[in-house]
Structure 1
Amino acid sequence: MQLTAPATPAPRRTGTRDADGMAVASFILGLLGLLVLNVFLGPIAIVLAAVALWRGTARRGRAFLGLALGVADLLVLLAFMQADSTISWSF
């Protein structure tokens, strides 16, 4: 009888876990950007989603939602700027 160590699953790479976090962060920032600071949060959400997709995140759906929400943030900003004829908007 030979004693061997129990088989353990391979640890996840740190880069994948970071990319998953970026995907979730882009989704949250894109969602938050629809309400406040969309001029800052929109581009941040877009960049985080793009980096998460480039790094191969397991949460591709959240990354794509973050990307779409980041673009929506900028479109909302543009629409309100056109309606108010100003550089920013408020409630």
Structure 2
Amino acid sequence: MELAAAPQRRRTGTQDADGMAVASFVLGLLGLLVLNAFLGPIAVVLAAAALWRGTTRRGRACLGLALGVADLLVLVALMQLDNTVSWSF
């Protein structure tokens, strides 16, 4: 008696790109509140990679890109207000 092998589930490049688009959106949104110097660039890179790979969630990737850039702009604005390299509440 021979057992059939379980079917392997493979992720396609589009599914990976969709995951990157969602991750960039979430990290960009979270970066507006905390760790914007760290999460902003990650959101930008993930959004760019998702767009380059041809995600079906193009709007979410564009929002992630915009939020990542906004994270960096908020960081620069708050650094200018504090006259320091970092900022705090």
With structure 2 as the length reference, what TM-score do the two structures score?
Answer: 0.87
Query: What's 1:9 paired with?
Result: none
1:3-43 CA distances to partner (integer Å, 9 max, x unpaired)? xxxxxxxxx96100000000000000000000110001000
Larger radius of gyration: 1
Give the partner amino acid of 1:65: L
**Residues of 1 paired with 2:34 and 2:58: CA distance?**
25
**Residues of 1 paired with 2:11 and 2:76: CA distance?**
39
Query: What's 1:74 paired with?
Result: 72
Alpha-carbon distance, 1:89 to partner = 1.0
How many positions carry a matched residue from both structures?
81
- Which runs of structure 2 are paired with 1:49-68 in the superposition (5 Å)? 49-68=47-66
Query: What's 1:4 paired with?
Result: none
Give the partner amino acid of 2:64: G
Q: Share of identical aligned residues, percent?
A: 85
Q: RMSD value over aligned CA atoms?
A: 1.5
The ranges of structure 1 where at least 4 consecutive aligned residues each deviate by more than 3 angstroms after the TM superposition are none
Give the partner amino acid of 1:76: V
With structure 1 as the length reference, what TM-score do the two structures score?
Answer: 0.85
Alpha-carbon distance, 1:45 to partner = 0.1
**Residues of 2 paired with 1:57 and 1:13: CA distance?**
13
Give the partner amino acid of 1:28: V
Structure 2 unaligned spans of 5+: 1-9
